[in-house]
Amino acid sequence: MSIYYILSLFKKKKYTFYLYDSWSGMDKKFLLKNEYSSVGKWENLKFDQTQNNLSKFKNKIVYNKGYINKNFKKFINPNKISWLSIDLNSAAPTLDCLNFFYKKMEKNGIIIFDDYGSQSYIDTKKVIDNFFKNKKEYIFQLPTGQAIVIIV
């Protein structure tokens, strides 16, 4: 739903949005032990349904179907990024995204972390905090549980 609203805001601008999702539920082999309760979660999200729901934006979207776990070489990726939203509900794929995308972020670009302040995803918060520990950026936690980082 969130990408639908974002795309609606940018419909007159020339942007390409890159979506990454397994569209097949969460897999135990990519989760930490304390995240195992998420196995099978989100199986109801179907690729063709997502494409149908976003059909009016089809010329602005590149779909990357598959698990994040260091598979970025097989995906179609942007060279530069101004806005990145990470909502993976798991620590290891979040770190994979940061390791891959951070160097592509433009100055004043924004990273949004959906799960940052959730007690259910404390390991995701630890991964994010550790990643930015020796970097110039500051993590702004929002009352919603999300966090925003502005690239300097």
- The DSSP-derived string for 26-87 is --GGGS-GGGGGGTTTTTT--HHHHHHHTGGGGGGEEEEES--TT-GGGS---S-EEEEEE-
Tens digits of residue pLDDT in 111-148: 999 989 988 889 999 999 999 999 999 999 999 999 99
- And the tokens for 86? 């990470």
Do residues 145 and 117 touch, judged by C-beta distance below 8 A? yes
| pLDDT for residue 152 | 96
- Output the CA–CA distances (angstroms, integers) from residue 124 to 53, 71, 76, 93, 97, in the order listed: 29, 19, 25, 9, 12
pTM score of the predicted model: 0.89
Tens digits of residue pLDDT in 4-57: 998 888 877 788 999 998 888 777 777 767 777 776 666 667 789 999 999 999
Quote the CA–CA distance of 50 and 20 in Å, as a whole number. 12
Q: Examine the pLDDT at 69 and tell me if it is beyond 90.
A: no
**How many beta carbons lie within 10 A of that of residue 53, not counting itself?**
13
Q: Examine the pLDDT at 101 and tell me if it is beyond 90.
A: yes
Bridge partners, 150 (sequence order) = 110
Quote the CA–CA distance of 3 and 1 in Å, as a whole number. 6
